[in-house]
Structure 1
Amino acid sequence: MEEASESELGPATLLVGGEGQDSPRRSKSLLAVLLLFSFSSQFLPIEPYLVPYLISDKHFSNLQVTVDIYPCSIYAQLFFTFLMPAACLYLSHKVVIFLGSLGTVATYIIAWSGSSLFSMQVMQVTYGFGMSTRLVFSSYVFHLVSEEEYQTMISLTTATSLLSFMIASELGQLLVLKEVSYHVFFAISLAFLGLCTFSSVLLPKDDGLTSMGVSACFKGKGWIKLLRETCRGRTLKVLSLWSALAYAGFSLVQNYGTNLFDAIDSNSKLNGHVLAASQAAGSLGSFVALYFDRISSKGRIKILIYIVGSALMSIFCVYMAASHKIWMAYLLYIIISGIYQALACFISVQCGKLLRNGQFILLFSLCNVLGLLLETLLQAAVEIAGLPVSAQFLCFSGFFFMATAIFVGFLLFGGQESQSTF
């Protein structure tokens, strides 16, 4: 990565990596705030039970939730993700993260108080906005730390957020078994989202572009040049394409997992345990990513890890679609979560290390926009076809299959020089 001057780094980076005896203390304080934000943003006991809540309390059918409500978040997220690089350049990462926290708060307030189909669709739009700002947080972390700390920081914050969701899911499961009102679920979720919003205010400020920088980048030629610089390198392009395909596949699996569970066994009330276990598997996968570099010193071995992981996710999606046993669907859902988080954490850091111009938010947005576009196209296709949720999972497996095929092709035809850059 090219060395940046002090004036280019900005106050957030200087806070973490700057010289001086206060630097270690400031670094620990920053890590504490990042972990607090990661934990509070995902402590949502209502999330595993949002589909049952919409069906039982709001009186929507499973088909309405699957076809009329949930797709709105996918379309909204595609739109907002496309705007994220410009928003970060004009406003700063911190401001966008704060606005995203408010958007998530609005999501659960609307879900709690709204009753019409339109209000639930608006709720999904605000949810899509909140989701689109998560990639801003990842980009923000890359800006804050040195290249040597990428993997550790990304793994720690990801593992913390997944661990938080796991604990919240277990709490939700306990509340369900005690037949506690869903109003309590929402109250707890909103309390932690309030803490999340407060912690986002404590994050160190990063600078947006200067007026000269904004003028240069937002001209047509400036943007084209910036995109070319950001996407330079064959290996970076391959890893980014995997990120887009796997993101699309996993997002759909995650979005419609509870719908599949309900279709297989509408009487099952173990969603909280299952989503908690999936987050625990994801958290474990995030820690496993820390050791991938140690066991894969050669590029060929790394590619084999990508191939095996992607192929397993594709196969497991097929088994989920064909299975009529709820326990099998639960188990495969959990395993897919662990595999995806391990690979996603590892590959995002590899992309960060290969990036030469420091435009992390632009790179992550490009990957997410492509992933969301693929997700949206498939979502629209299955809506038009009116496929049941089990058939949809067969379609979802196709994304992981394509990701596998890309790395198989790269392994066979990429050449030794390209493989050595992994």
Structure 2
Amino acid sequence: MEVLKRWKSDWSYPTTLLCIYGFFSTVKPLEPFLTPYLTGPDKNLTTEQVNNQIFPVWTYSYLGVLVPVFLLTDWLRYKPVVVFQGVMLFVTTALMRWTASVPAMQVMQFFYGVVTASEVAYFSYIYSVVDLKRYRKATSYSRSVQLLGFTIGSVLGQLIVSFNLMSYNNMVIFTLVLTAIALFTSCFLPMPQRSMFFHRKHPREAQSVEGVKGTVEAEQRSGSLDEMRGENVQKVETKDAEEDEGESDGAKSCSQVILQLWRDFRQCYSSRQLLYWSLWWAMATCGYNQTVNYVQVLWEHIEPSQNFSIYNGGVEATSNLLSAATAYGIGFTDVRWEQWGELALGGFSGLGAAALFLMTFTGNIWVCYSSYVVFKCLYMLLITIAMYQIAADLSMERYALVFGANNFGALALQTIITSVVVDSRGLGLTIIPQFTIYSSYFAAISVVFLVRGLFTCWRQQRNNREERPADKRDSLKSEEHKF
């Protein structure tokens, strides 16, 4: 019992529970085969219904609930939203199994948008229950276990489909069991006592405690016992009042928090370098999300699942592992990204656009699969660099704000593209014209950042040339001064 109590008070206890939740909530063997499942005999929906009526609902739902969920997550101190995410994921999976109409699938996509928006609670929870010195390890564990869950789910789904071990409907039931385990685990997470914005620790608490200690020591040295007792009572009362004030100040009102967020937002984006990196982040993430969301429809168009033994799960698993290796390897490179970063963004985005064009116009499913893996690895490489560059000079609170703002910008762009290009109430384009637009979109990003990167390099070289004569003049002056 004593060992269990010590473990519960240690940072490894909430980290372990969060990792268990993250793993079981991401093992989804059906996800790489969602389009074949919806368009197959189990649901009997058409590709047009899935592409133009069902999938767009996720984007609209995600955008609509992102800001309220972000504020509620911090106000409720993370755990309730993590549990809520588990409930919504269970409901989403149940709807997928026991309903079949287009409106029901649209409701399912709405709930899945809520699940996606609630991920902010998963990624923020750990920072409120572990010490600052444990942030890197805890973040590494919680993110890695999610990637592991996605990979195992994809491999498991591929094995089930390739060897015909169970039907798609039974795969959903299996996923429902895994989701129930995740939901059960989330209920045992410790409740955090603070959060980043609404329930921050008031700095005067620590100061008041130190002040009382110093005063007590000084009075003890003076030897005046009666005065010391009276003063101690007064100091303790003052300390309690300050703690109460600190608690009320810590639980700030929504208007105060929003005002503070707006000030931080303006100060963060006043940096040009951060602004350019964030601009790429939002634009590229928008295109990446659109590609990943609709790539199964493209695969189904190139090689229908009724005529071919599909390998969507294997491709997703391979792309996840190679993306993780790429993102990990970037940590060992020694490159001046502040100088060469924008050129890298433009060049690699161009390669991603080429991979997308190849995916769009090839008739070979294996070429399409390979191009998708290349595209995903390139995006993960660049987003890792962008996240590192942005986080380098920001506090945890401001990084969370910039992270949320960039993703909101990406989602807003994605909503515009979805409503105009994909939605049946807009242009309602088929899958090949859609991917032609996505490819051209990345080509445009590439041109913008290549031009910007070349300009940055030219300006840097010009500044270096101007500094050299100035340095020579200074050295000559110092020599003359000696003589």
Shorter-chain TM-score tier = 0.7 to 0.9
Match of 1:55 among 35, 39, 42: 39
Match for residue 5 of structure 1?
A: none
CA separation of 1:338 and 1:31: change in aligned 2, threshold 3 A: farther
Greater shift after overlay, 321-330 or 36-45?
36-45
Show the 5 A alignment for 1:91-240. 91-141=76-126, 154=139, 156-179=141-164, 180-206=166-192, 207-208=194-195, 209-210=198-199, 212=249, 213-215=251-253, 217-218=255-256, 221-240=259-278
Q: Give the counterpart of 1:372 among 404, 407, 411.
A: 411
Which residue of 351, 355, 358 maps to 1:316? 355
- Residues 231/299 of structure 1: CA separation in 2 closer, same or farther (3 Å cut): closer
Tell me which residue corresponds to 1:251: 289
Deviates more, 1:386-395 or 1:319-328: 386-395
Distance 1:79 1:327 in 2: 37
2:15 touches 2:126 (CA, 8 Å); kept in 1? no
Cα shift at 1:196? 2.3
Shift of 1:60: 0.4
- Structure 2 gaps of 5+ residues are 1-5, 200-247, 464-483
Tell me the distance in 2 between the aligned counterparts of 1:170 and 1:304. Answer: 36
* Contact preservation (8 Å) 2:14, 2:126: no
Aligned residue among 300, 317, 328 for 1:262: 300
Distance 1:216 1:33, change over 3 A: closer
Does the 8 Å CA contact 1:236/1:351 hold for their aligned counterparts?
A: yes
CA shift, 1:357, in A, is: 6.7
1:407 to 449, 462, 467: 449
> Among the aligned pairs, what percent are the same residue?
26
Give, in whole Å, the separation in 2 of the partners of 1:118 and 1:255.
Answer: 19
Q: Which of 341, 345, 355 is matched with 2:394 structurally?
A: 355
Write the distance in 2 (CA, Å) between the matches of 1:296 and 1:149: 27
Contact kept, 8 Å, 1:72 with 1:125, in 2: the verdict is yes
* DSSP 3-state at the match of 2:363: coil
Identify the residue that residue 322 of structure 2 maps to in structure 1.
281
Distance 1:163 1:86, change over 3 A: same
Of residues 268, 272, 285, the one that matches 2:313 is 272
Map Cα deviations across residues 194-245 of structure 1 (whole Å, 9 max, x no partner): 2322343444544241454532644775453243244342222222222211
Q: Which residue of 2 aligns with 1:17?
A: none
Check 1:167–1:224 CA distance in 2 against 1; reply closer, same or farther (3 A cut). closer
Among 21, 31, 35, which residue is 1:37 paired with?
21
| Matched-pair contact (CA < 8 Å) for 1:141–1:154 | yes
Contact 1:136 1:361 in 2 (8 A): no
Task: Pick which of 155-164 and 245-254 moved more.
Answer: 155-164
What is the alpha-carbon distance in structure 2 between the residues aligned to residue 325 and residue 296 of structure 1?
Answer: 37
Larger Rg: 2
User: After the TM superposition, which of the residue ranges 33-42 and 107-116 deviates more from structure 2?
Assistant: 33-42
Deviations 1:275-324 (A, max 9, x none): 22222222323322432xx4224522444443333222122111111111
Looking at structure 2, the residues matched to 66 and 332 of structure 1 have their Cα atoms a distance apart, in angstroms, of 21
Partner of residue 218, structure 2:
none
Corresponding residue number in structure 2 for 1:343: 382
Alignment-mate amino acid for residue 88 of structure 1? T
Call closer, same or farther: CA 1:404–1:152 in 2, change over 3 Å.
Answer: farther
Q: Distance in 1 between matches of 2:403 and 2:446?
A: 21
Check 1:220–1:37 CA distance in 2 against 1; reply closer, same or farther (3 A cut).
Answer: closer
Q: 1:98, 1:53 → 2: CA distance?
A: 28
Q: Assess if the C-alpha contact under 8 Å between 1:78 and 1:369 holds in 2.
A: yes
- Between Structure 1 and Structure 2, how many residues are aligned? 395
Q: Deviations over 1:26-84 (max 9, x none)?
A: 34444433432332221000111211111111110011000010000010011121223
Equivalent residue number for residue 330 of structure 1: 369
1:137 match: secondary structure: helix
> Which residue in 2 is equivalent to 1:388?
430
- Give secondary structure in 2 for the equivalent of 1:214: coil
8 A Cα contact 1:150 1:349, kept in partner: no
Q: Looking at both structures, which has the greater relative contact order when contacts are Cα pairs under 8 Å and sequence separation is at least 6?
A: 1
- The SS at the match of 1:358 is helix
Give 1:400 shift: 2.9
> 1-side partners of 2:311 and 2:254: how far apart?
54
| Kept in 2: contact 1:289–1:343 (CA 8 A) | no
- The superposition leaves residues 68-113 of structure 1 with CA deviations (integer Å, 9 ceiling, x where unpaired) of 1000001001112122331123212332222222212211111111
Kindly provide the CA deviation profile for residues 137-180 of structure 1, in whole angstroms up to 9, marking residues without a partner as x. Answer: 33445666788876765555434322322221121122223332
Q: Distance in 2 between matches of 1:346 and 1:155?
A: 16
> Contact between 1:173 and 1:270, CA under 8 Å: does it hold in 2?
yes
Task: Please name the residue that 2:331 is paired with.
Answer: 290
Change (3 A) 1:97 1:290: farther
Which sits farther off after the overlay, 266-275 or 146-155?
146-155
* AA partner of residue 84 (structure 1): V
CA distance in 1, matches of 2:346, 2:140: 21
> Amino acid of the residue matched to residue 172 of structure 1?
G
Name whichever of 370-379 and 353-362 sits farther off.
353-362
Instruction: Give CA-to-partner distance per residue, 1:322-369, whole Å, 9 cap, x none.
Output: 111111111111122222223323422432333247144432221111
